[in-house]
């Protein structure tokens, strides 16, 4: 069963407006959350992360919010730009016994920013 | 700085054939990972390594083997390919256990 879920396969937003991408998780042991961005024919690239001890992390136009009680996180992009058009993956981390970073990924949301 | 390089980029195999996917990183990262991405699913972890000479199973390890003989290389092997292994394979690496992963550009594998 999918432990990280992104229920919106796609999202279209006008340039300059806010984009909000959502993600839900089921495993309460997850303590580190990340967003990755992926362009076609490329690998995912890291965008922003948040630890479970925080409820918000900001990096320029990108802000991630974490609601642990609801097991929900969201990525806000303000203002949205055409170059932001990509697939966004939410991921959650559970450190394994060997200390490796076992990331569980959502299925992705395709964001289209309309000029 | 090349980062994470995967070879080949594309491959078509017939059922029962074998092949090895190569991942190389030049960032001196300790941790390396192999993921597969299938339509309608998130990336799923196949195997990982926490250092040279070590490997461990991830979420979907069946049908795959891996080796990490050198720190910079992580090889993924398919001994007898099956159509269910048609997928896009991504290699990733990280310096610390809980630091963001750096991904390669993927290998698209089709098994007929």
* C-alpha to C-alpha distance for A24 and A55, rounded to whole angstroms: 15
% residues pLDDT > 70 (chain B): 99
Q: Which A positions 79-108 lie with beta carbon below 8 A of chain B?
A: 89, 91, 93, 95-96, 98-108
A10-14 and A109-114 strand pairing: parallel
Confidence of residue B96 (pLDDT cuts 50, 70, 90): confident
Instruction: Compare B87 and B59 and report the one with higher pLDDT.
Output: B87
Q: Does the distance separating the beta carbons of B94 and A103 come in below 8 Å? A: no
pLDDT digits (tens, 9 = 90+) for B27-70: 999 999 999 999 888 899 999 999 999 999 998 999 999 999 99
Confidence of residue A95 (pLDDT cuts 50, 70, 90): low
* C-alpha to C-alpha distance for B13 and B19, rounded to whole angstroms: 8
Bond preceding residue B8 cis, omega within 30 of 0: yes
**Nearest-neighbour CA in chain A from B14: distance (Å):** 23
Q: Does the distance separating the beta carbons of B44 and A103 come in below 8 Å? A: no
Burial code (b: 16+ CB inside 10 Å, e: under 16) for B79-103 equals eebeeebbbbbbbbbbeebebbbbb
Q: What is the mean pLDDT of residues B78-101?
A: 93
**B26 in Cβ contact with B86 (< 8 Å):** no
Task: Give me the phi and psi of A106, to 5 degrees please.
Answer: -80, 180
Residue A96 scores a pLDDT above 70: no
Confidence of residue A70 (pLDDT cuts 50, 70, 90): very high
**Which tokens belong to A27?**
């495993």
Give the pLDDT of residue A1.
Answer: 73
pLDDT digits (tens, 9 = 90+) for B72-83: 999 999 999 999
Q: Does the distance separating the beta carbons of A93 and B106 come in below 8 Å? A: no
Nearest Cα neighbor of B19 from B101, B88, B80, B104 is B80
**Which tokens belong to B53?**
């000479």
**Which tokens belong to A3?**
């432990």
Q: Does the distance separating the beta carbons of B56 and A103 come in below 8 Å? A: no
**Nearest-neighbour CA in chain B from A24: distance (Å):** 13
What three-state secondary structure class fits B85? Answer: helix
Burial code (b: 16+ CB inside 10 Å, e: under 16) for B45-70 equals bbbbbbeeeebbebebbeebebebee
Q: What is the mean pLDDT of residues A103-112?
A: 95
Q: What is the mean pLDDT of residues A13-38?
A: 95
Would you call B82 an interface residue with chain A, using a CB distance cutoff of 8 Å?
A: no
DSSP A83: G
Q: What is the mean pLDDT of residues A9-32?
A: 95
Would you call B2 an interface residue with chain A, using a CB distance cutoff of 8 Å?
A: no
% residues pLDDT > 90 (chain B): 88
Question: Which segment of A25-34, A64-73, B5-14 scores lowest on mean pLDDT?
Answer: A25-34
Residue A98 scores a pLDDT above 60: no
**How many inter-chain contacts (A to B, CB under 8 Å) are there?**
72
Would you call B21 an interface residue with chain A, using a CB distance cutoff of 8 Å?
A: no
Q: Does the distance separating the beta carbons of B58 and A108 come in below 8 Å? A: no
Share the mean pLDDT of chain A.
93
Would you call B5 an interface residue with chain A, using a CB distance cutoff of 8 Å?
A: no
* C-alpha to C-alpha distance for A110 and A88, rounded to whole angstroms: 6
Confidence of residue A97 (pLDDT cuts 50, 70, 90): low
């Amino acid at each position: 069963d999918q432990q990280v879920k992104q229920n919106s396969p796609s999202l279209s937003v006008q340039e300059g407006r806010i984009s909000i991408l959502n993600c839900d998780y089921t495993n309460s042991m997850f303590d580190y959350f990340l967003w990755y961005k992926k362009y076609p024919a490329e690998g995912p690239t890291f965008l922003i992360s948040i630890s479970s001890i925080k409820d918000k992390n900001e990096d320029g136009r990108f802000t991630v919010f974490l609601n642990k009680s609801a097991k929900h996180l969201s990525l806000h992009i303000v203002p949205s730009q055409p170059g932001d058009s990509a697939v966004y993956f939410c991921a959650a981390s559970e450190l394994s016994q060997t200390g490796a970073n076992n990331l569980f990924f959502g299925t992705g949301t395709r964001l289209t920013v309309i000029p | 700085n090349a980062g994470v390089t995967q070879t080949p980029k594309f491959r078509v195999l017939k059922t029962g054939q074998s092949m090895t996917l190569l991942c190389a990183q030049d960032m001196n990262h300790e941790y390396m990972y192999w993921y597969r991405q299938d339509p309608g699913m998130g990336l799923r972890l196949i195997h990982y390594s926490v250092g040279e000479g070590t490997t461990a199973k991830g979420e979907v390890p069946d049908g795959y083997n891996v080796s990490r003989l050198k720190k910079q290389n992580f090889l993924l092997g398919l001994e007898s390919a099956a159509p269910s292994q048609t997928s896009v394979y991504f290699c990733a690496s990280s310096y610390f256990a809980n630091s963001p992963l750096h991904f390669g550009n993927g290998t698209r594998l089709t098994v007929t």
